[in-house]
Amino acid sequence: MVALHLQNTKKMVILLSFVLLFSNACKLQNYADKKSIDIRVSCMPDTVAYGDSLSVNVCYINISRNPIVFYPEAIISMMHVDTTSFIFWSEEHFLYPINGVCNFQNTVVLQPDQIHKTIYKIVVNNKFFFNDENNFILTYNLYMKNKKKPILPKPKEEQKILSMALSSSIFSLFVKDENR
C-alpha cells in the first residue's frame, strides 16, 4: 500500500512540476527587439511641395516566430541619409521629430508576421526637406527619460527597464519648389 502511494505521489509531483513549469513559461512574454521587428515606411503622396501635408505610413512587422509585446508609442524621427554636408547642418536640418513621447502603458501583442500600422501626418517645410529628392530613414527609440520605473503591464518580478532603438530601410520623397 505504501509503495502504491509513493508511486502515485511521484506521478503527482511530476505532473504538478510539469504544470507549474508550463504555466510559468506561458507567463513569460517576449518583448520586441531589433531581431524581431522590421520597420517599413512609405509616404503618401511621394511627391510634395513646401507647405503640403504628408502621411508617413509606418508598418511594424513581427519577423520572429513568436508573439511579441511591442510598444508602438516611442520617439519617432525621420533622419536624412544624404550626409554629404551634414557637418554644417543644424539639428533641424538633420532630424525631423514625429513623435516625442515614450508610452509604456500602450502595448500591442504582435503575432508572427502580424503588422501594426501607424500613420503620422506631418507638414513639409523648407528647414528639413530639400528641394528635389530626399532620402531618409525612420528611427524608433524607446527608452526612459528618468530613473523611475514605468508601470508596466506585467508582474513585478518580470519588470525591467526597457530600451530599444530601431531604424527602417532608406525611403525617398521628392519635394518640388512651386516658386521656381
Tell me which DSSP letter residue 34 carries: T
pLDDT for res 89: 57
**Cell match 530613414: residue?**
137
Closest CA to 63 of 82, 90, 36, 29: 36
- pLDDT tens digit sequence for 1-38: 444 444 444 443 333 333 322 332 333 345 666 678 99
With 0-12 / 13-18 / 19 or more C-beta atoms within 10 angstroms meaning exposed / middle / buried, residue 41 is middle
End-to-end CA distance of the chain: 99
pLDDT for res 95: 86
- pLDDT tens digit sequence for 135-165: 999 999 988 765 555 555 554 444 444 678 8
Domain 33-176 has CATH 2.60.40.10: yes
Please tell me whether the overall predicted TM-score, pTM, comes out greater than 0.85 for this model. no
Average pLDDT over residues 78-97: 71
**Cell match 513559461: residue?**
25
Tell me which DSSP letter residue 52 carries: -
Cis check: omega of the bond before 72, within 30 degrees of 0: no
